[in-house]
Structure 1
Amino acid sequence: MFESVEVKETAFRIDGVFIPPTPAGIIYFCEVQFQKDELLYERIVSEIGIYAYRNRSQFFDWQAVVIYPSRNIEQSRQEIVREMLASGRITRVYLDELGEIEELPIGLGLMVLTTLEGDEATAQARRLIGQARGSQDIIGLLSTIIVYKFSNLTREEVDVMLGIELQQTRVYQDARAEGEASGLERGRTQEGRAIVLKQLTRKLGEIAPEIRSKVNSLTLDRLESLGEDLLDFTQMTDLIDWLEDERSDKRN
């Protein structure tokens, strides 16, 4: 039977499109798939076809990359793209087959981190923070990944768990920048107190009211110093000694 069929376009969302700087280049489509989808390849081909139809003048050729946590997530039937898979037109990446996370570049390490759980995820995140060498963007991504894995914790609690210093946190930096721009010194100090107290509670346990009061009396500069030093605290007496030294310095 022969029919004339009208195909209506459906709204698609492509995870990532890397457009070449000139029309003579190759455009790359990226799809991240962490759940089983038995129509994934049909959707990808449709997305690319519609995009090419609408934007053909922007590129010369195309490639696609599909990122899976493991092979068992991949679509079972692949007949519709078998030539594309065989030719490398569509490349598949299995994160659990990339090798040991310690041996990977930090970008790939971040991707593999999304597949880890529990203590292993925390340990690898802490290691990647050291590898990030202070890059705020990388540290922010690491913190966000762990926040999603430990949904019962706040962002500040996750930062403490990962050993992210006060000055490295996005909350602190945003608050400081906003305070400097508006001249609201009090707002910055209050934000610093809240973050430091959360870090101390996470590190040492419940903070007694009299000790909390001493922390709240610190200036912003001294809060910053405490935010750095508390990473080395192992017991409550370390905090008490630090506050006593602070008090002695004021007297002198």
Structure 2
Amino acid sequence: MKTDSLFYRIFQTAPAIFFELIGQPTAEGYQFQSVELKQTAFRIDGVFLPPPEAENKTVYFVEVQFQKDSLLYHRLFAELFLFLNQNPSTANWKAVAIYPNPSLEPEQTDLYQPLLESSKVQRIYLNQLSSSSVELGVVELILEPQETAANKAKQLLSQAQQASQLPIAVIMELIETTMVYKFPQLSRQEIVQMLELATESKQTRVYQEGLEDGRQQGLQEGRQEGLEEGRQQGERVLILRQLARKFNQINPQVRSQIELLSLEQLEMLAEVLLDFSSLQDLTNWLEENLRE
């Protein structure tokens, strides 16, 4: 999983983390998704779209950049203004560029300096975060060296049981996903053992209360049949929920095809589903991967 995909999955699962990152109150109903620009080769990977009934109808354009790219702002503003041209009813917009540190920001910014210095653009450097919240700690975990990542993750899990604004089950899901990204050589079961997720953490009252959220509900249901099967069920529940949010409704045939996917295929689907612009994209992906 690439770093930007990891961020996008975090933002899709817990939009509140994005709004805390930019220092704004959590806005209810926002959906994080990719947007295809009609009749162009452009696709904006990270967009927070407001719900129709929202009072604040700001559209947030999110760019996560962990590699040097001198043309980043050229691309970002080209896509952004194409979006505004194709969506003239947009009430307000803001661009958020997220870097691990200032050294990765493009050096030549003269063309866009007035925009970069305006309130329309916010640049965030993760190594300069000062908040001690659990939610931003999940973001900081992405930058944590491997040698100390396990201890950092355990500290966040402990802190989450006392001070998290999100359900403990959601925090556990995000921490586990981040650790899988950081340790690609380890299986999910090994990650769970590293973080001791299968023992005392899941017996707490606050965790049990958080099981109403998608993936954790699946994990609970599958626990009697073994950890691996439970994780597969949990991944399936989370994906079905995300697809339902994206496309409003999933027909029974597609649902039954998703039921046939292995854990590895489910993880692949979780990474690419942001790129789908229609149910046909999902159908094509399922047909291709179920043939393998």
In structure 2, distance between residues paired with 1:28 and 1:34: 19
Of 45, 65, 85, the match for 2:77: 45
- Whichever of the two has the greater Rg, that structure is 1
Percent identity of paired positions between Structure 1 and Structure 2: 30
1:108 corresponds to 2:152:
no
Once the 2 structures are TM-superposed, how far is the Cα of residue 175 of structure 1 from its aligned partner? Answer: 5.3
Q: Is the contact between residue 175 and residue 191 of structure 1 (CA under 8 Å) also seen in structure 2?
A: no
Aligned equivalent of 2:146: 118
Aligned equivalent of 1:161: 194
Alignment of 1:27-176 (within 5 A): 27-57=59-89, 59-99=90-130, 103-133=131-161, 135-166=168-199, 167=202, 174=218, 176=220
Code of the aligned partner of 2:107:
S
Once the 2 structures are TM-superposed, how far is the Cα of residue 124 of structure 1 from its aligned partner? Answer: 1.2
1:29-69 CA-to-partner distances (Å, cap 9, x unmatched) read 11111111111111110111111112221x32211111100
Code of the aligned partner of 2:221:
A
User: Where do 4+ consecutive residues of structure 1 move more than 6 Å?
Assistant: 168-172
In structure 2, distance between residues paired with 1:61 and 1:173: 37
Code of the aligned partner of 2:181:
Y
Aligned equivalent of 2:58: 26
CA 157–13 in structure 1, closer or farther in 2 if over 3 Å, else same: same
In structure 2, distance between residues paired with 1:129 and 1:67: 24
CA 110–193 in structure 1, closer or farther in 2 if over 3 Å, else same: closer
In structure 1, distance between residues paired with 2:41 and 2:115: 23
Q: Is the contact between residue 36 and residue 75 of structure 1 (CA under 8 Å) also seen in structure 2?
A: yes
In structure 1, distance between residues paired with 2:49 and 2:41: 22
Q: Is the contact between residue 47 and residue 59 of structure 2 (CA under 8 Å) also seen in structure 1?
A: no
Q: Which SS does the other structure have where 2:69 is aligned?
A: coil
Q: Name structure 2 gaps, 5 residues minimum.
A: 1-38, 162-166, 231-292
Higher relative contact order structure (alpha carbons within 8 Å, sequence separation ≥ 6): 2
Q: Which SS does the other structure have where 1:50 is aligned?
A: helix
Code of the aligned partner of 1:42:
H
Once the 2 structures are TM-superposed, how far is the Cα of residue 22 of structure 1 from its aligned partner? Answer: 4.2
In structure 2, distance between residues paired with 1:42 and 1:174: 43
Q: Is the contact between residue 63 and residue 89 of structure 1 (CA under 8 Å) also seen in structure 2?
A: yes
Q: Is the contact between residue 23 and residue 60 of structure 1 (CA under 8 Å) also seen in structure 2?
A: no
1:74-132 CA-to-partner distances (Å, cap 9, x unmatched) read 11211221001111321100000113xxx522222111111111132211111111122
Aligned-residue Cα RMSD (Å) equals 2.8
TM-score, length basis structure 1: 0.61
Code of the aligned partner of 1:128:
L
CA 122–47 in structure 1, closer or farther in 2 if over 3 Å, else same: same
TM-score, length basis structure 2: 0.53
Q: Name structure 1 gaps, 5 residues minimum.
A: 1-7, 179-187, 196-252
1:193-226 CA-to-partner distances (Å, cap 9, x unmatched) read 999xxxxxxxxxxxxxxxxxxxxxxxxxxxxxxx
Once the 2 structures are TM-superposed, how far is the Cα of residue 16 of structure 1 from its aligned partner? Answer: 3.0
Code of the aligned partner of 1:191:
G
Once the 2 structures are TM-superposed, how far is the Cα of residue 25 of structure 1 from its aligned partner? Answer: 2.9
Q: Is the contact between residue 172 and residue 191 of structure 1 (CA under 8 Å) also seen in structure 2?
A: no
Count the aligned residue pairs.
175
Code of the aligned partner of 2:153:
A
Aligned equivalent of 1:234: none
CA 192–147 in structure 1, closer or farther in 2 if over 3 Å, else same: closer
Q: Is the contact between residue 41 and residue 80 of structure 1 (CA under 8 Å) also seen in structure 2?
A: no
In structure 2, distance between residues paired with 1:66 and 1:14: 13
